[in-house]
Amino acid sequence: MASLRTEREIMDRLKLIILWGLFIWPVMAGNYNFTILPSGSYFETIILDPSASQVNASLLAYQFKGRIDRKMHTSINLGITRMLLRWELEKNRGFELGFEYGIHSQFSVEDAGANFLGGLQNSDYRITGVAHYKNKVHTYRMTLFHQSSHLGDDYIIRNDITRPTSNVLNYEQLDFLLSTTKNNFRYYYGLGFNISPNTIRKRLSLQLGYFFNKGLKINKNMGYFYGIDVKTFEQNDFRPGLKIGLGFEIGRNNHNPLRILMEYYKGHLPYSTLEYKQLQSFGIGLYLNSIL
């Protein structure tokens, strides 16, 4: 009991130190331009991250244990990103605070003979506080999020689930990530730590990725892109979840371009209560950043 109280006190002090540093550092930095509710963000959305706060819909085929699932699956994410405060210290250097909110849902569609039946499998809810520091080509990102995951009514009824399921996907996490963009290339890497005091989920997670995009010679507002995102969780014995994408984008000069993506994923099902399942999925999706 004493050790639990000590752990809570340490986490409370850590949060206080971080929040104090976030607010006091820009003031001590010297001259800056201060903006309330700025548009856009220093940090570009990682579109290949299944948990990213964005708007997208994908039509996917699932393969479990080498066999194609007869059901068609759709992944629908509804997210929003909003910066609240920004300190511009000088050209290409600044600091901002904001939040993100996302709902990540998976549906299955099966042929019932006379018609097709759709069913909600799972929904994840994530609210995130974000802090970004941009220094030329580098952007440092710190996030603190709460996530909860819930099986859908359709899945519960069709599988005759009558007992409570694991709440291993209900937790809070602190993430640190560095993203570097040079010309058309971007790479990033970071780590996360589950800070929930009484969690049944293991603590550590890692992420890295690479992204390339380039405009067309005939029209710079359109272009193509490809990339890879890898996430590993201690919860899953660090077996990687790998997502690869190749696509075309329209409106690339805006901070919310429309992207058409051919996508492939291999690993644990991201990131629902059914996370323990391993699969391969492939299909096509439409993506928007949804950064205000």
Segment 128-150, tens digit of pLDDT: 999 999 999 999 999 999 999 99
Strand blocks (E) in the chain: 33-36, 55-64, 67-90, 93-111, 116-135, 138-151, 171-182, 185-194, 204-215, 222-233, 241-250, 258-268, 278-288
The pLDDT, as a whole number, for residue 7 is 61
Q: Mean pLDDT of all residues in the chain?
A: 89
Q: Is 201 helix (H, G, I), strand (E, B) or coil?
A: coil
Q: How confident is the model at residue 176 (pLDDT cuts 50, 70, 90)?
A: very high
**pLDDT tens track for 1-23:** 555 556 666 666 666 666 555 55
Higher pLDDT, 115 or 182: 182
* Distances 271 to 25, 105, 168, 220 between C-alpha atoms, Å: 35, 9, 11, 35
**Among residues of the chain, what percentage have pLDDT more than 90?**
67
d(CA 128, CA 190): 16
Query: Who wins on pLDDT, 276 or 127?
Result: 127
Instruction: Express as a percent the part of the chain with pLDDT over 70.
Output: 87
Q: What was the pLDDT predicted at 42? A: 96
Asked if the model's pLDDT at residue 111 lies above 70, the reply is no
Query: Is the pLDDT confidence value at 83 over 60?
Result: yes
Average pLDDT of the residues in 101-117 = 82
Please answer whether residues 222 and 214 qualify as being in contact, where contact means their C-beta atoms are separated by less than 8 angstroms. no
Please name every residue paired with 239 in a beta bridge, in sequence order, or none if there are none.
none
Kindly report the backbone phi and psi dihedral angles of residue 65, in degrees, each rounded to the nearest multiple of 5, phi listed first. Answer: 50, 40
Mean pLDDT of all residues in 211-232: 95
Q: pLDDT tens digit string along 20-29?
A: 555 555 555 4
Over range 38-58, report the average pLDDT: 95
Residue 159 confidence (pLDDT) above 60: yes
pLDDT at residue 166 in the model:
76
Mean pLDDT of 260-277: 92
